[in-house]
Amino acid sequence: MTDDAKTVLVVDDDPDAREYLTTVLEDNGFTATTANDGAEAIASLEEEIPDLVSLDISMPEKSGVAVYRKLKEDERFKDVPVIIITGISEEFERFISSRRQVPPPEGYISKPVDAEQFVRKVRELTG
């Protein structure tokens, strides 16, 4: 990994999904860190701000949505681009459109994730 490799924080409660995305990212020159749930995600962000966050919105107990809101409402984190990994994208879009103050995410991708599509989006958003 080169020092100026972009970092991506992968937030997902499913270990298989975490392994999938981190492997894909590392294979494509990114550095990946992981978080199992909302709390770990925030802790990780406070330690180091990544270049992008990949967030599974369908984690239990709506923790995915809670993390998203925290991200976008916190001065420190609100400019970090977020890709939402979603099982049901209409539900999230409805959530977003019903809360005007929270800006929409920079990208969406639905499960099952297509590796190439994911990498393309990450590259786009991290310049």
Partner 1 sequence: MNNDYHVYFDALPCYLTVQDRDFRIIEANERFRWDFGDIEGRFCYQVYKGRSERCEICPVARAFHDGQRHRSEEQVKSLDGRQISVLVEATPIRDDDGKITAVMEMSTDITELKHLERQLRRSQRRYHLLFDEVPCYISIQDRELNIVEANRAFHEDFGACLGRKCYEVYKHRSEPCVPCPVQETLEDCAPHTREEVVTSLDGRHQNVLVTAAPICDGQGRITGVMEMSANITQVRQLEDRLTSLGLLIGSVSHGLKGLLNGLAGGMYLVDSGFKKEDKARVERGWGTVQRNVSRIQSMVSDILYYAKDRVPAWEPLSAVEVAEDVCRLMETRATEQGVRLSTVLDATAGAFEGDAQAVRSLLVNLIENSIDACRLDGKKPEHGVTVRLQGLSDFVQFEIEDNGIGMDQETKEKAFTMFFSSKGMEGTGLGLFIADRITRAHGGRIELESHPGVGTRFIVHLPRKRPPPEESEDSHPSEMDAAHDR
Residues that bind partner 1 (CB under 8 A): 13-17, 19-21, 23-24, 27, 37, 39, 56, 58-61, 87-88, 110-115
Minimum Å distance from CB 113 to partner 1? 6
Minimum Å distance from CB 84 to partner 1? 14
Q: Which is nearer to partner 1, 3 or 90 (CB)?
A: 90
- Cα angle, residue 11 at apex, residues 119 and 51 outer, rounded to 5°: 55
Q: Which is nearer to partner 1, 97 or 117 (CB)?
A: 117
In sequence order, which residues have a C-beta less than 8 Å from that of residue 125 and are 6 or more positions away? Answer: 52, 81, 83, 106, 107
Helix (H) or strand (E) holding 109: strand 107-110
Decide: 16 and 55 in contact? Cβ < 8 Å. Answer: no
Minimum Å distance from CB 9 to partner 1? 17
